[in-house]
Structure formats: structure tokens, C-alpha cells
Amino acid sequence: GAGVSQSPRYKVAKRGQDVALRCDPISGHVSLFWYQQALGQGPEFLTYFQNEAQLDKSGLPSDRFFAERPEGSVSTLKIQRTQQEDSAVYLCASSKDRSNQPQHFGDGTRLSIL
Amino acid sequence: DAKTTQPPSMDCAEGRAANLPCNHSTISGNEYVYWYRQIHSQGPQYIIHGLKNNETNEMASLIITEDRKSSTLILPHATLRDTAVYYCIVRVGARGYSGAGSYQLTFGKGTKLSVIP
């Protein structure tokens, strides 16, 4: 089925490098979310888009984190000057709209910073 | 969003019903109860959600107490593939949306369900 697709599935980068993580939401889904999941913890909210508008970025841990969704579909999460504490699984979720419709998640990108 | 309390772990025999409890004593009238599960190395999977009535779908049943302070997720015939971490989350619905920052899911530690052969 056409679920949420994330790429790459795994990413290894050296400390200080920039990385870009991609999310393809379910077709037609208006809302898109990024979450960060540390080992052994539940996912934590990073940022939220309604179409192309980034309505909430309160969860982004620092100004090194940047997300965009220019055409209201595909989204990219960029991390500049990566640090070891950025190592985590980054999850993307989409939902039809901002009502009580459930969010559907991709399988995430596992980022390891050496 | 209101906080939820779940037991850290539970065991269930294969083929038996798994009953996963969740306390949400501070839930507001406009907050829904959502259940997700996460199997190792996968993203969270939506299971079911409800406001105040009991709900059932092909995966599970959700029983919400009349005072809405607690709920139970029921997997009627647990299989080994149901071994996962189960998250109970409360969140406002559309009418309760008050602006940015209130629409994301807030995950706790969940319940690790182990289905035993």
C-alpha cells in the first residue's frame, strides 16, 4: 500500500557534517509531522506542517535543525553541523487534516553520528 | 494534553485476549484517546481511537469508562506478531484545536507487551 515513505532508511555521518532526511507522506494528506526517537524512548515531536506552512516548530532542539515542505507534499528535515547527540531515529507522520484523524507513520531514518 | 499512565510491561499467552490498561484521570472533554503500537525497528502503527463510546475495528477494541478517566485496549486473540510497545495517548480533536503546538502526539513510555507461545 502507499504508506508514508522515508529515505534513507539508515544514515551514517561524521560529526560536523550536514544531513538531509526525506519524507513522502500519504498522497493527499494535508498534515505532516516530524518526530525524533532516542533509543529506548517514545517519539518526541519536532515540527508540524499544514500543507506548505510550518505551523509549529517548537520541538526543534536547536537552530541546526531545519524542515521544509515547499510544495505541500514531500518534506525534508535538515540537520546542520551534526553532533553525536543527534543520533536517533527520525520519524515522519502524515494525516488527512488537522481534525481527529489519526497520524500514520513511516518506518523512520536511523541516523548515527560518529 | 493530559498525561497517561500505563504499566511498563505485560505478558499474554498466545491465543488469549490481551487487555492493556491506561489511566488518563485528567482528560478533558474534548480530548480523544488514541492507541498506537511500535514493533521493533518500525514506526508507530495506529490501532484505534475514541472519544467516549466503545470502539471496535479489525485490530482491536477500545473500552472507555463512563467517567473517561481510564480505558482498556483489547486484542481479542493475541499472536506472536502482537509483541510490541503499546502507547496510549490523549489529544484534542478538531474542535479543541487552539493553535500551533496542541496537535502533535505526546508519547509516554508505553507498555511492552510480550506474547508468550
Residues of chain B contacting A4 with CB distance shorter than 8 Å: 43
Half-sphere exposure of B30 (CA within 13 A, CB side): 11
Chain A: closest CA distance from residue B76 (Å): 22
pLDDT at B86 over 80: yes
pLDDT digits (tens, 9 = 90+) for B24-51: 999 988 889 999 999 998 999 999 999 9
Instruction: Provide, rounded to the nearest whole percent, the portion of chain A with pLDDT above 70.
Output: 97
| Better-predicted residue by pLDDT, A39 or B96 | A39
pLDDT (average), residues A38-61:
93
pLDDT at B101 over 80: no
Chain B: closest CA distance from residue A91 (Å): 7
User: Which candidate from B43, B107, B110 shows the least CB-CB separation from A108?
Assistant: B43
User: Which candidate from B32, B41, B87 shows the least CB-CB separation from A42?
Assistant: B87
B106: Cβ–Cβ under 8 A, 6 or more apart, which residues? A45, B1, B89, B91
Q: Which of residues 4-33 of A touch B (CB under 8 A)?
A: 4, 31, 33
What is the reported pLDDT for B104?
86
Residues of chain A contacting B107 with CB distance shorter than 8 Å: 42-44
pLDDT tier at B2, thresholds 50, 70, 90: low
pLDDT digits (tens, 9 = 90+) for A78-112: 999 999 999 999 999 999 976 778 999 999 999 99
A92: Cβ–Cβ under 8 A, 6 or more apart, which residues? A4, A6, A23, A25, A32, A33, A34, A35, A75, A77, A105, A106, A108
